[in-house]
Amino acid sequence: MTTDIKAALRALHIETPSWAYGNSGTRFKVFAQRGVPRDPYEKLADAAQVHAHTGAAPTVALHIPWDKVADYGDLAAHARDLGVGIGAINSNVFQDDDYMLGSVTNPDPAVRRKALDHLLECVDIMDATGSGTLKLWFSDGTNYPGQDDIRARQDRLAEALSAVYDRLGADQRFLLEYKLFEPAFYTTDVPDWGTAYAHCLRLGPKAQVVVDTGHHAPGVNIEFIVAFLLREGKLGGFDFNSRFYADDDLMVGAADPFQLFRIMYEVARGGGLEAGVAFMLDQCHNIEPKIPGQIRSVMNVQEATAKALLVDRDALAAAQAGGDVLGANAVLMDAYNTDVRPLLAEMREEAGLAPDPMAAYAKSGYFEKIAAERVGGTQAGWGA
Amino acid sequence: MTTDIKAALRALHIETPSWAYGNSGTRFKVFAQRGVPRDPYEKLADAAQVHAHTGAAPTVALHIPWDKVADYGDLAAHARDLGVGIGAINSNVFQDDDYMLGSVTNPDPAVRRKALDHLLECVDIMDATGSGTLKLWFSDGTNYPGQDDIRARQDRLAEALSAVYDRLGADQRFLLEYKLFEPAFYTTDVPDWGTAYAHCLRLGPKAQVVVDTGHHAPGVNIEFIVAFLLREGKLGGFDFNSRFYADDDLMVGAADPFQLFRIMYEVARGGGLEAGVAFMLDQCHNIEPKIPGQIRSVMNVQEATAKALLVDRDALAAAQAGGDVLGANAVLMDAYNTDVRPLLAEMREEAGLAPDPMAAYAKSGYFEKIAAERVGGTQAGWGA
Amino acid sequence: MTTDIKAALRALHIETPSWAYGNSGTRFKVFAQRGVPRDPYEKLADAAQVHAHTGAAPTVALHIPWDKVADYGDLAAHARDLGVGIGAINSNVFQDDDYMLGSVTNPDPAVRRKALDHLLECVDIMDATGSGTLKLWFSDGTNYPGQDDIRARQDRLAEALSAVYDRLGADQRFLLEYKLFEPAFYTTDVPDWGTAYAHCLRLGPKAQVVVDTGHHAPGVNIEFIVAFLLREGKLGGFDFNSRFYADDDLMVGAADPFQLFRIMYEVARGGGLEAGVAFMLDQCHNIEPKIPGQIRSVMNVQEATAKALLVDRDALAAAQAGGDVLGANAVLMDAYNTDVRPLLAEMREEAGLAPDPMAAYAKSGYFEKIAAERVGGTQAGWGA
Amino acid sequence: MTTDIKAALRALHIETPSWAYGNSGTRFKVFAQRGVPRDPYEKLADAAQVHAHTGAAPTVALHIPWDKVADYGDLAAHARDLGVGIGAINSNVFQDDDYMLGSVTNPDPAVRRKALDHLLECVDIMDATGSGTLKLWFSDGTNYPGQDDIRARQDRLAEALSAVYDRLGADQRFLLEYKLFEPAFYTTDVPDWGTAYAHCLRLGPKAQVVVDTGHHAPGVNIEFIVAFLLREGKLGGFDFNSRFYADDDLMVGAADPFQLFRIMYEVARGGGLEAGVAFMLDQCHNIEPKIPGQIRSVMNVQEATAKALLVDRDALAAAQAGGDVLGANAVLMDAYNTDVRPLLAEMREEAGLAPDPMAAYAKSGYFEKIAAERVGGTQAGWGA
C-alpha cells in the first residue's frame, strides 16, 4: 500500500503562481520585502527554487498583463532552462479604470468588448506558451442594490464566456472561478459554484469549475462541492489557500489543516488525482517571505494528500455500510492523526532531495543572493 | 400604473402551511399555546381565518404524515367549505427512528425503500386532493467526517428523485428544497441551490428548485439566486420566513424587510409573478400567537411586493445604463422608502375586507372561541 | 520534559455531563437509542464507565431539575461507590412554560421570582452534594425587534445574578455562560463573553465566565477569548463540544482539531491548567452511541492538550521575538503534527488502564448489559 | 411630539471624515475619480459642501499623517471660514513598513516606541486644533497561529494605551475601536467590544469604545452592544458604514436600513442622543462619487433617527410589559414603515436649505468646478 501511496504522491504536482513571488497586501498597506522580483523572468527563477527543493512544483501560472513580455517563446524557454514549465494563463480584467463597474458584465458595450479582447489575447498567449488552461476570474459585480440589472449581467457574462469558449483550441480548456464577494460588495456575477457550474455545463466539456478554497461563505462545506463537481465531471482545479475570515489568502492548510485533509480525501475518493484536476496555489504572503511561504504550502498539500491516501478505504466502507458512526469517523481520523512527515522526508531522499525543503532553502543562500542583487527597479506586486 | 400594481397585488397568493397553526419550538422547549388545533380539520379552519382577513392566502399546504386523514376527498371538501383549497403536499422522511442516518440516502437499502414509498404515497395524496405540487425536503446528511460516503449518497439521492419524477402526473411537479445544515451538522445532501438545480436539470421540467429564505450561509445573496433560477426557468417557489442567525424561521420580513423587498423585486423583474412560482410561508411561531403570526407574514409579503412593483423601471434602467451608481440605487430606495400601507388598506376595502387584518382578526373573537373550545385532545405540533 | 507533560496530562480532569447519557436531538427529531438511562443513578453509572476506561473523567455534572432526586446525599454516595464524584450543578430556567418570554429577565416579576428561586435552590443542592460550582446558562432573549426592552432586561439580569452571588458559600462560585443565539433568535441577554465578563467583574471573584466552544459567531477566535479571560483572571471553565455551523454540539475536536489544540495551547500558556479552570463536556450525541461518544471526546481533549504541552516554548519565544513568522508558526505546527496517541496509550498502561479506551469499552460488554436491562421506563432526555 | 422630534433631529450632528473625499478601493484596485482633493485644504472644502447642503455635518475628522500640515491653526481657521470645524483626530500606525508585525503590540520595542510617539503626537495636534477626541484604531494582530504571543501583545497594548491616557488633557478623551479582522487574518489585538471595553474600563472615564458598524462577525447584534455600552457609560461614538459581507465600508444604511433604525432606536432609548456620543461616518466610496456619497449617508442617518424618534414609547412599553410579542414588534415597525422624508424635507426648508440635498448639490455646479480645477498634483487616497 505504501508503494501506491508513494506513487500517487510522486504524481502530485502543485502549480505555483508567478504573482506569489511579488509583493502583496491588503487595502491598508502593501509591505515591501527584500529580494522581490522585478519582472516575469525573476519570478520564474523564484518559482524554480520551490520546485528545486520540493520536486513537486514543476509549473508556474502566469498572470496577464502582470507577466506580459515581448516574446513568450523566450519566456517559456527561460522556464525550461530553470527546470519548470508554464502552467495556466490567468486573465486580468479588474485593474484598469475602465472596469470600475465591471468587465464582461459592464453596462457599457465598449468596455465589454475591451474585456473580451483581453480574454482572447490570453488564449493567444496560451498558444504561444503551450499552456492548456485559461483561468477566468471576474471581479464583476455591484456594490449597491439597484446599481445594475443582475439578470442582464448574466446575459452579458454568458455571451463573453461563449466567445472565449469558441476560441479555445482542441487541447485547451478554461476554468471558471467563483467568489462570494470582494471586490464587489453587494452582488458578484459568479458568486458560487452553482453559477459557475451552470455556465460551464451549458458551454461544454472544455469549461470547468475551479474551486478557490477561500471563496465561500462561512460554514460552506467545500469538500462536498469537490465531491459533487467530481461526480459531474466538472472539477477543473483548485486555487489553494486558507482563511479564518474572508478571502484571507493565507498559506493552504495553515488555518484548518483538517479541512484540507477532508478536501484531499474527496479528491482521492472521487478520482481527482487521476483526472486532470489542476492543483494550484493562489496565496498572498503579505508578511511572510514569499519563497518559503510557497515551499511550506506545497508541503502542506503533500501532507494532507498523504494522510488522505492513508485512509483505509475498505475499513471505512465497512463501517459506513454498517451505520457505525463513530467507527467510520475513527477510520478517517486514524489517517489524519498519523504523522506523515517521515514518509514524505523519505520520498524526498529517494528522489535525491533534502528531506526538509524549508531548511534546505534556508541554507541555500538564494535569499541572500536575490536580496543583494535585486536592488533598484520596480518590485513586482499585484499591480505590476 | 397604480392600476397595474393593484392587479399584480390582487393576483399575489400566499400559501400558508398547516403546520404553522400547531405548536413549534426549538430543541430546548416547545411552548404550548392555547387554542391550538388538534387535527388537520382544525388547522384548515385556522388557515381559513388568515384568508378571510387578508384575501390573499387561498391555499393551505399539507404535511404528510402530520396531516394524514382517512379520506382526503373529505378534507378537500372541508377546505372548500371554509373558502380555501389544498396546496402543496409536503413529504416527511425525517421523523421516524429509521431515518436516523438518512432517508433516501441512507446506507441501508431497506430504509431507502421505505422513504421512497412514502414519497410515492405523497403523489397518491396529490392525486386524491388535486394538488399539483410536491415539496421535497430531505434532512439527510452526516454529522461527522467519514460517517458516510458523500458521493454515494448523491447516487442514492438521484435514484430516488428519478423514481418520484417518473411517478408524477402531467400537471404535477416537485420542488426540491435545499438547506445548508440542521439537523445534519457536517454534510447535508442537498445543501445549496446548485445541488438542487443540478438534480432538477437532469430530471426535466417537472423538477424545480424551492428557495427557503432561511436556508443559506451567512452573507449569501438570496435575490441573486432568485434572479438566476428565474433566468434558468428553474425557480419553483419560496418557503418564506426570516432569520438573524441560522434557520430561525421567524416571520418573513421581520428580520430584514429590505432583503424581502430586494427578493420580490427580482421576482417581479424576472417574470416570477406570472410564472407559476409558489409563494409559501414556512415559519415557526414559537412564542407568538399563530394565526396573527401568519396574517402579519402575509401582509409583510404584500408590502414588500407592493414596494417592488413601485420601482420606476424606466428610470432605473436609464440610471443603470448610464453607470449612475447612486442614481440607480436611489430609484430602488425611493420605492422601498414609500409607505405602501395606505395602498394595501385601500385595496382591502375595495375587496370588501377590513383595512387592517390584524385588528379585524383581534376583534373577531375567533381566538377566544378556539381557546375555549379546543380543550383536551393532543395539540398539533411538528411531531403530530 | 516528557515527565512534565505526563504529570500535566495526569492532572487533566474532564467532567462529563449527566445529560450526555440521555437522548438528545434537534427540533426535528430526537432519535431514541437502546440502553439509555432512566434516572440520575443510571446516568452516573454510565459516566463511571467513561472514567473507568479513560481515568480522566472523575466528576459528573448534574442538571436540575433533570437530575432531581429525593436525597442528594444518597446520590453523591452512589457516585462515590461508582468511583466518581459530583461536579458542577447546572441550573435550568428554560423548560417551563412560564419561561416562554424569559426567566430572570422576563417582564413579569412573578416569573423572575420563580426563576431566581430555582437558582437559589441549585445552591442548596450544591451544599447538599458538596459541589463548588454553579453553572448558569440563560436562554433568555427575544425573537423580534421591539419585543422587550433590551436594556431593562440587563437590569433584571444584574439583579438576579447579584442575588445568586450573595447566596454563594465561601468555597462556591458560579460560572456565567454566554451564547450568541438559540433558542432566542433576535437578542440573547448574555450573547458574548464581553457581556458575561462585565457582569462577573462587577460582582467579584466568585463569578467567572465559562466558554462553550460552540456559542460564538462564525469566525470568532476562541483562543483569543481564552487568553484574554485568563489574563483577567476570569476564565472559570469550558463547555467543550464542536461545530461546523451553529451550536451543533458535536464531539469536541471532531470539527476542528486544530482549533482545540490552539485553545489548549492558550490554556497552558496562560496558566489555565493550574488555575482551577473547569474542563467540562457539553455535547449532544444525537446519532452516535453516548458512552463511546464521551470516551472519544475525553480522548480528543487529552490529545489536544498533549500536543499543546509539546510545543517548544523556548523555540517559540525566540522565533516570536525575532519576528520570524514562518519559524514561529512551524514550532507550533511541529507539536500539532506529532502523533501523541502512543504517548497517551503508554500513560494509560502506566495507570493500569487499557491503552485504547474505545476498544476496551466495546469489549467490556457494558453496552449489551444496559441494552438488555434498561427496558421499560422513560428514557432520560433533555426534557427529563 | 413632532416638535420634540425636530429638536432632536436638529441637534443630530454627523461628522464626516477627511479621507472619505479621497480615492479608496480594495486590494485589487483603487479607481481614480475626477475632482478628488490633493491636500487637506481641498478635503475640508468638500466636507463643507456636505454641511452646506445637509446642515447636519458641521465637523470633519482628520487623519494623521494623511492630513499633516505645517500649521494646524491655519487649517482650523480655513475650516472655520468654510463653515465647518475640526472633529476627531484619527491616528495611523498601520501604513509604515515598520508596522508589518504590529505597532504598539509589535515584538520589537523600538517599533512600539515609534508607534506610541505617533499617538502622542496626535494629542499634540488635538491641542493645536482644539479637538477633544482621539480615535485609536490598531491594525495590530497576527496572520498565523504561533506567530506571536497573544497575551504578551495585550500587555504591550495596555502599556501604550495607558501612556496615551495619561497624556490626555482635561477635556480630551480617546475612543478605542475594535475590528474582528483585516488586515490581520488570524488574531486581531482588539477584535471585539469586550476587549475594547475591558481596556477602557481599567483606564477611566476618558477612555470609551467606538462602534464601527462594519467590524463584527456575521450575525452579531450591534444594537445590543450599543444598548449595553450606553448602560455602562462607555459608548464613545460610532464609525458608521454598512456591509453585506465583511468590512465593506458601504454607505451607512445602504445594506440594512432596518438595522440602522434599530441601532438609532437603542441610541435614543439609552440617552445616547444627549450623551456626547460622536456620530461619525467612516466609509469608502470606491465606485460612487464621494461628496454625494457622504450627503446620502448623512441623510440615511437622519432618516433612521427620525424613525427611531417616532417610536411610540408608551405604547411600546405597555405591549412589552404585557408580553404582547406581535403588538410590541408592531409598534416598532409602525415607526420604521413611516415615510419620514417629507418631515426631513420640511425641516431643511425651515432651516433655509433645499429640501433635497442630493438634487441641490447636483445643481450647484460644485463637482464640475472641482473636476475642472483639480488637475495635476497627487490625488488624496488612503495612502496620502
Encode pLDDT of B51-101 as tens digits. 999 999 999 999 999 999 999 999 999 999 999 999 999 999 999 999 999
Does the structure show a pLDDT above 90 at D279? yes
pLDDT at A99: 98
Backbone φ/ψ region at B365: left (φ over 0), alpha (ψ -120 to 50), beta: left
d(CA C140, CA B265): 36
Distance CA A317, CA A305 (A): 19
CB contact under 8 Å between C31 and B100, yes or no, is yes
Length of chain D measured in residues: 384
Counting Cβ atoms within 10 Å, is residue A30 exposed (0-12), middle (13-18) or buried (19+)?
Answer: buried
- The percentage of residues in chain C with a pLDDT greater than 90, rounded to a whole number, is 97
pLDDT at D384: 46
Minimum distance, in Å, between the CA of residue B39 and any CA atom of chain C: 19
Q: Does A336 touch chain D (CB under 8 A)?
A: no
Q: Which residue of C has its CA nearest to D320?
A: C148
Q: Does A219 contact chain B (CB < 8 Å)?
A: yes
| Cβ of residue C325 closer than 8 Å to a chain D Cβ | yes
ω into D40 cis (within 30 of 0): no
| Whole-number pLDDT of residue A384 | 45
Structure confidence at residue A275 (pLDDT) = 85
For A173-195, letters b (16+ CB in 10 Å) and e give bbbbbbbbbbbbbbbbbbbbbbb
Cell of C172: 462556591
Taking only the tens of pLDDT, chain B with its 384 residues reads 688 999 999 999 999 999 999 999 999 999 999 999 999 999 999 999 999 999 999 999 999 999 999 999 999 999 999 999 999 999 999 999 999 999 999 999 999 999 999 999 999 999 999 999 999 999 999 999 999 999 999 999 999 999 999 999 999 999 999 999 999 999 999 999 999 999 999 999 999 999 999 999 999 999 999 999 999 999 999 999 999 999 999 999 999 999 999 999 999 999 999 989 999 999 999 999 999 999 999 999 999 999 999 999 999 999 999 999 999 999 999 999 999 999 999 999 999 999 999 999 999 999 999 999 999 899 998 754
Query: pTM here?
Result: 0.98
Domains recognised in chain C with CATH numbers: 2-311 (3.20.20.150)
| Contact with chain D for residue B31, Cβ under 8 A | no
Distances (CA, A) of B320 to A142, B307, D138, D223: 11, 19, 38, 34
* pLDDT value at residue C2: 83
With beta carbons under 8 A apart, name residues in chain D contacting C224. Answer: 150, 187, 191
With CB atoms and an 8 Å threshold, state whether D143 touches A186.
Answer: no
Contacts of B251 in chain C (CB under 8 A): 144
C257–A244 C-beta distance less than 8 A: no
Give how far D153 is from chain C: nearest CA, Å. Answer: 10
All partners of chain A with 3 or more CB pairs under 8 angstroms: B, C, D
Residue B31 three-state SS? coil
- Put simply, whether D194 touches C (Cβ < 8 Å) is yes
* D interface test, pick of A94, A188, A245, A382 with most D CB neighbours within 10 Å: A245
Q: For chain C, which chains pass the contact test of at least 3 CB pairs under 8 Å? A: A, B, D
Q: Which one, of A267, A202, A262, lies nearest residue A236 by Cα?
A: A267
Query: For residue C275, what pLDDT is reported?
Result: 85
**What are the DSSP calls for C298-354, one per residue?**
HHHHHHHHHHHHHS-HHHHHHHHHTT-HHHHHHHHHHHHHS--HHHHHHHHHHTTS-
CA distance D357 to D363: 10
What is the per-residue pLDDT for B3? Answer: 87
Cell numbers found for residue C235: 476564565
Tell me if chain A has a CB within 8 Å of the CB of B304: no
pLDDT the model gives residue A341: 98
Give the pLDDT confidence of D142-180 residue by residue, as tens digits.
999 999 999 999 999 999 999 999 999 999 999 999 999
Residues of chain D in contact with residue A115, where contact means CB-CB under 8 angstroms, are none
Smallest CA–CA distance, residue C30 to chain B, in Å, is: 8
Distance in angstroms (rounded) separating the CA atoms of residues C364 and C371: 13
Give the separation between CA D365 and CA D340, rounded to whole angstroms: 28
Instruction: Provide the β-strand partners of residue A371.
Output: none
**And the C-alpha cell for D248?**
465593506
Question: Residue C97: CA atoms inside 13 Å, Cβ hemisphere, count?
Answer: 6
Confidence grade of residue A3 (pLDDT, cut at 50, 70, 90): confident
Backbone angles phi, psi at A14, to 5 degrees: -120, 120
Smallest Cβ–Cβ distance between D296 and the set B219, B256, B326 belongs to: B326
Q: Is D303 on the interface with B (CB under 8 A)?
A: yes
The three-state secondary structure class of A32 is coil
Mean pLDDT, to the nearest integer, of A18-35?
95
CA distances from D305 to A144, C148, D8 (A): 22, 20, 9
User: What does DSSP assign to residue C248?
Assistant: -
CB contact under 8 A, A185 and D145: no
Work out whether strand C278-281 and strand C235-240 pair parallel, antiparallel, or are unpaired. parallel
* Chain A residues inside the 8 Å CB shell of D185: 243-245, 248, 250
| Separation in Å, CA of A208 to nearest CA in chain C | 28
Tally Cβ neighbours within 10 Å of residue A172.
17
Nearest chain C CA: its distance from D301 CA (Å): 19
Rounded to a whole number, what is the distance in Å from the CA of D134 to chain C's nearest CA?
23
- What pLDDT shows up at residue D383? 56
Q: Does C248 touch chain A (CB under 8 A)?
A: no
Measured between alpha carbons, how far is residue B213 from residues B139, B171, B249 in Å? Answer: 16, 26, 9
Interchain contact D163–C (C-beta under 8 A): no
Q: Which residues pair with A359 in a beta bridge?
A: none
Coil/strand/helix, residue A173: strand
- In this prediction, residue B383 carries a pLDDT of 56
Alpha-carbon gap, residue A331 to D357, rounded angstroms: 66
DSSP, res B331: H
Chain B nearest-CA residue for A145:
B329
CA distance D359 to chain B (A): 11
For D312, name the nearest residue in chain C, comparing CA atoms only: C146
Which residues from chain C sit within 8 angstroms of residue B245, using beta carbons?
180-182, 185, 246
Shortest CA gap C147–chain D (Å): 5
Question: Which residue intervals of B61-132 are DSSP H helices?
Answer: 72-82, 109-129
ipTM for the assembly: 0.97
Residue A258: per-residue pLDDT = 98
If one counts every other C-beta atom within 10 angstroms of the C-beta of residue B338, the result is 17
Q: For residue C185, what is its C-alpha cell?
A: 433568535
Instruction: Report pLDDT digits (tens) over D216-259.
Output: 999 999 999 999 999 999 999 999 999 999 999 999 999 999 99
CB-CB under 8 Å, D219 with C217: yes
- Gap from A143 CA to chain B (nearest CA, Å): 9
CB within 8 Å of D365: residues ≥ 6 apart: none
What residues in A contact B193, CB-CB < 8 Å? 194
Q: Check CB contact under 8 Å for C245 and B246.
A: yes
Q: Do C358 and A330 touch (CB under 8 A)?
A: yes
Interface test with C, best of B23, B29, B147 (most C CBs within 10 A): B29
Q: Kindly state whether A262 is in contact with chain B, defined as any CB-CB distance less than 8 angstroms.
A: yes
Q: What is the mean pLDDT of residues C45-71?
A: 97
Mutate which of A19, A23, A24, A28 to disrupt the D interface (most D C-beta within 10 Å)? A28
Whether the predicted pLDDT of C306 surpasses 60: yes
- The minimal CB distance from C256 to the residues A256, A296, A325 is found for A256
Pairwise CA distance, residues C316 & B382, whole Å: 54
What cell was used for C148?
Answer: 422587550
Across the interface, which of C181, C182, C286 has its CB nearest the CB of B143? C286
Judged by a CB distance cut-off of 8 A, whether residue D109 touches chain C is no
Separation of alpha carbons B308 and B343, rounded Å: 13
Binding partners of B (≥3 Cβ pairs within 8 A): A, C, D
The burial of D2, by beta-carbon neighbours within 10 Å (0-12 exposed, 13-18 middle, 19 or more buried), is given as: exposed
Question: Least CB-CB distance to C320: which of D107, D319, D323?
Answer: D107
What is the C-alpha to C-alpha distance for residues B209 and B197, in angstroms, rounded to an integer? Answer: 6
Q: Which among C106, C143, C149, C153 is the top mutation candidate for probing chain D, defined by the most D β-carbons within 10 Å of its own β-carbon?
A: C149
What pLDDT does D2 receive? 83
Measure the CA–CA gap between B285 and B46, rounded to whole angstroms. Answer: 14
Q: Does position D313 have pLDDT exceeding 50, yes or no?
A: yes
Mean pLDDT of A233-237: 98
> What CA–CA distances, in Å, run from A327 to A69, A319, C258?
56, 6, 21
CB environment B152-162: b (16+ within 10 A), e (fewer): bbbebbbebbe
- CB atoms D219 and B258 under 8 Å: no
Closest residue in A to B316 (Cα) is A146
List helix spans (H) across chain B: 2-11, 40-54, 72-82, 109-129, 150-167, 193-203, 222-232, 257-269, 290-310, 313-321, 325-336, 341-350, 357-364, 366-373
Q: In sequence order, what E strands does chain D have?
A: 14-17, 25-26, 29-30, 59-63, 85-90, 133-136, 141-142, 173-177, 187-188, 207-212, 235-240, 278-281
Identify from A29, A66, A92, A181 which residue to disrupt to test chain D contact, counting D C-beta atoms within 10 A and taking the largest count.
Answer: A29
The pLDDT score that the predictor gives to residue B384 is: 46
Joined together, the cell numbers standing for residue A102 give 465591471
- C-alpha R_g of chain A: 21
pLDDT at C382 over 80: no
The DSSP H or E segment spanning B281 is strand B278-281
**Are residues B218 and D219, on separate chains, in Cβ contact within 8 Å?**
yes
